[in-house]
Chains A and B, each alone.
Chain A
Amino acid sequence: MVLTVKAVTKSFPAADGDVPVLRGVSLSLDRGETLALTGESGSGKSTLLHLIGGLDRVDSGSITVGGREITKMNDTERAALRRSDVGVIFQQFNLIPSITVEANIAFQARLAGGFDADQAGRLSKALGLTEHLNKYPEALSGGQQQRVAIARTLTARPKLVLADEPTGNLDEATASEVLGQMLRLVRETGAALLIVTHSQSVARRMSRRVNLSQGHVV
């Protein structure tokens, strides 16, 4: 298994006490699998994605990525895991505005110490970014920026790709096209994909689907 989530709970402090967001969530994901995590707003989708990506800590339960239990890791170890095994695609793209598109695409792979220029070139071509490589992110449209974010993640060849509403900011046609490219490339690299989405059409294109409601898998 690339990903195993067991009985994970998480709550956040609020004025009137802690608010539980995840109440014992368990799921797993194998190599090459794609999974849509759906649910109403506030159901804990993004929180779960952040926990899996090592961006936040669980209250209880365990999460294992590539055979390593991240819930027992410290900040530095989790950062190392994100560099090498996990790629996160954010809804807001989170590109680095002060470096070029080409440098952005290469960035995570370089951080992990495994940059493959041919791979980056192929991904850029596949995502239609070749002519934009020397531009800065602000010169690109939202769809193009999302493609750069996808290329950045896949160039690093992570075992697990986490995507938080990756097409949420895009129009329907662009979203469909970007998603198609992402699925194809994930298949080619053999990674597992977990995608958080509200969109039924996006969810239908995944091999599995898990629905969260009030912090439980339903």
Chain B
Amino acid sequence: MIPTALTALLSHWRCNGLQFFAMIAGLALATALWSGVQAINAEARASYDAAAATLGEGQFDQLLPRTGDVIDQSTYIELRRAGWQVSPVLEGRLRTEAGSVRLVGLDPLTAPGTIAPVGMQEDANFDDFLTRGVLFAASDVAESLAATVTQRVIVDPSIAPGVALSDIGVAQTLLSAERTLSRLIIASAQPIGLPALSEVAPSLVRQPAQDTGADRLTDSFHLNLTAFGLLSFAVGIFIVHGTISLAFEQRRSMVRTLRALGVPINLLIAMMISELIAFALIAGGIGVAIGYVIAAALLPNVAATLQGLYGASVAGTLELRPEWWLSGMAIAVLGTGLAAAGALWKIAQMPLLASARPRAWAVASGGTAWRLGAIAALLFVVGIGIAIWGQGLTLAFALLACVLIGAALILPLVLHGAVGFANQRARAAMWQWFWADTRQQVPGMSLALMALLLATAANVGVSTMVSSFRVTFVDFLDQRLAPELFIRVEDEALSLELEAILLTQAREVLPLLSTETEIAGVPTDLFGVRVGPTYRENWLFLEETPNVWDRVEDGRAVVVSEQLARRADLWTGDRLVIAPNLMLPIAAIVADYGNPLGQALISEAVFHELYPDLVPMSFGVRSDDPTALRDRLTTEYGVPETAITDQSRIKAFSLGVFERTFTVTGALNILTLAVAAFAILMSLLTLASIRVPQLAPAWALGLTRRKLGQLELIRAVVLAMVTTLLAIPLGLMLAWVLLSYVNVEAFGWKLPMYLFPGHYALLTLFALLAAAFAALWPAIRLARTPPSNLLKVFANDR
């Protein structure tokens, strides 16, 4: 019995190939976008984990130099003698032919066990590591190192991307950093009664594990990606839901017949569930494969983004990790279940003697629209509540979900209203029929139009955010990169000499004096600035008090970045402890985009008092003729060409990093819009098969098939236009939530929102073109429908 009944059930798909394709393709696309994003996230997380495992990042507290980035080896020895269980690490960039590699030197004898970096592979042994010198790296890094170092390089895939490991002694030799260290890892277990750090090593500061700003930022980045992946998945599931609903409606008569012929309903439901699971696995498999391709294409940009913005290294190549492909398959099955639950429930509840005609799926009453509208209103109320009282990134995303789902649910009601309004205005009989017929089409088209609404709104929202960010970022670069030239010195001893030369040649010289420290519990870059016309004229503040620069110059105030202010919960007028004996009021808040650390600006003089040993290693130089200055510096004063960088190159590099940052969201934007167009196409094609009884009377009364085809096209464009008009304010609201809530929660800064009417007009045009393009094929098919098919409507034996 089961094979026979199953054959009958499956035969539906054979006769409705397009429907089958729509379901599989919709599900595959949804899974592809989701699993593509998950693949990227999994790869990035694996890279972070590898970094944490091999470098101890995020696992252990560490000791860092209070100023500068070097610890003398004698400090380490004193700590060990005092009983501190610390392990030295030296890090540096090792130049190779292909660029540079981050070389990390560890002491395997004192490193905490879980760091134990290297799986001893091949025939390497501990002696090799300590004596002859062996480097461990992933295959691509090992390849680039082979020609650079004389030591043996062993391939170990567990090493973090872009990193090579060696014994610390070997690293000191290779990096020409004898007797120096970068940081000390503190083992979890320490003896009782240790002397205080301030007694043994006052020049070091303890940084707790997990206290890196980059962690929070990369998490936010991945959360953003996941949210986008979920949105894309939702758009795909709209297609699947529409297709499954239609398919099940069309199979009602078959189900009734099968039951009448003796197939129990429980068995039928079980077979349908099995059938859907099988389809979900097939589509999920295809989706995961497409997702792999998408992820592989996007990963280099994501890696560049994470490196450029947050300094986090991510492998540029993708591995087939079970966590993401299994999650892809799982969400395909889950999504199918979600999309089919309602249809299965209806079938299970359908009385055996119920009408077998495909029910009013496509011509459902407006009652459903009102019910959806009520749910939408409820979601909007919840959203307003979150906007007023909610806090935190998760609630910010919940607010987004309320707004987006609410708007999608209210769409049928809006379409009903718009079409009803047009119907009232129509005078000609044909247009009255057209609007009445369009109104009947709204429920059938709703899901596809909801998909278009979400895709377009996401496009408007994300592009508004990105473009607002771009405008702000370019202003920010103009402000920060005011000096025409930047000059670097290799040796501290040359700093004073170079400054003296520059002072005679340039209009203004700005020493770039900074150190990493911790202010108000926030890791911060502290700058000592030489206040002059450049700062006074170019720097714009988000919030300021009177005479900012005068007060900073006199050592009476500090300027802080927005991130530091928000994280420390301080604002202008509040007093900030800069150092143990220095507390200054905040004179102004300045924007700082893309930096995980906080920033604080004090005067050069105050900085020198705090850190008398620090000298600037680079200078910003203002000049009316930077080219001539550059020439003089290189020819007359022997400054190497490579030590001079002009502003335009830095700006171009920074903008390049920025542009790559949003390549991923841009690509997902386009893919989501393409999926929405596909949803419209599939809806129209599947609806076409059950539309003939509604079109045949109009044809019989004198409308040509060609005219009917044209009207189908117009209908799709009109519905898409109403949807897009709703999508634009929705997208702007999305952008506002992203800029005002999500950004603040995720990145610690708030961005001004700019509007880009030209872009919205273009997007509207694209959406209409996508709808028209999607409707073209069904319209042509309708225009070519054989009269015999239309006549069947009037035949008794249909």
Enumerate chain A interface residues (CB-CB to B < 8 A). Answer: 50, 53, 55-56, 75-76, 79-84, 88, 90, 92, 94-99, 103, 107-108, 110-113, 136, 141-142, 145, 169
Contacts and interface: CB of A to CB of B under 8 A. Distances in A.
Contacts of A112: 1, 262
> What are the 7 tightest A-B residue pairs by CB atom distance, in nearest-first order?
A83-B262, A142-B797, A82-B262, A98-B11, A98-B15, A110-B4, A79-B264
B261 A83 contact: yes
A55 B352 contact: yes
Contacts of B1: 83, 110-113
A96 B265 CA distance: 17
A98 B254 contact: yes
Given A80-B262, A94-B253, A111 B5 contact: yes
B11 A145 contact: no
B256 interface: yes
Interface of B: 1, 4-5, 7-8, 11-12, 14-16, 253-254, 256-266, 352-353, 356, 796-797
A97 B254 contact: yes
A75 B796 CA distance: 34
A81 B356 CA distance: 22
Nearest to A145: B797
A76 B356 contact: no
Contacts, number: 82
B8 A94 contact: no
Given A79-B259, A108-B261, 12 more contacts: A75-B266, A80-B264, A88-B260, A90-B260, A94-B260, A95-B257, A96-B8, A96-B254, A97-B254, A103-B11, A111-B4, A141-B797
Contact of B260 (A55, A103, A142, A169): A55
A56 B11 CA distance: 28
B262 A142 contact: no
A96 B258 CA distance: 9
Contacts of A96: 8, 11, 254, 257-258
Given A92-B356, A145-B797, A99 B8 contact: yes
Contacts of A82: 260-262
A96 B796 CA distance: 18
B263 A79 contact: yes
Nearest to B251: A98
Contacts of B797: 141-142, 145, 169
B271 to A, nearest CB: 13
Best-buried of B258, B264, B796 by chain A (most CB within 10 Å): B264
Contacts of B264: 75-76, 79-80
15 contacts: A55-B353, A76-B266, A79-B264, A94-B356, A96-B8, A96-B257, A97-B254, A98-B15, A110-B1, A110-B4, A111-B1, A111-B261, A112-B262, A142-B797, A145-B797
A97 B260 CA distance: 15
Contacts of B253: 94, 97
Nearest to B4: A110
Max count, chain A CB within 10 A of own CB: residue among B15, B16, B260, B356: B260
Contacts of A55: 260, 352-353
B353 A99 contact: no
A141 B266 CA distance: 34
Nearest to A76: B264
Contact of A99 (B7, B356, B796): B7
Contacts of B4: 107, 110-111
A98 B259 contact: no
Contacts of B256: 94
Contact of B262 (A50, A81, A95, A141): A81
Contact of A98 (B5, B12, B263): B12
B796 A169 contact: yes
Contacts of A81: 262
A50 B264 CA distance: 16
A137 B257 CA distance: 14
Contact of A94 (B257, B263, B796): B257
Nearest to A94: B257
A187 B253 CA distance: 30
A166 to B, nearest CB: 14
A160 to B, nearest CB: 13
Nearest to A110: B4
Contacts of A90: 260
B109 to A, nearest CB: 73
A111 B262 CA distance: 8
A142 to B, nearest CB: 4
Contacts of B12: 98
A56 B356 CA distance: 16
Contacts of B262: 79-84, 108, 111-112
Contacts of B266: 75-76
Contacts of A50: 353
B717 to A, nearest CB: 33
Contact of A56 (B8, B14, B353): B353
Contacts of B257: 94-96
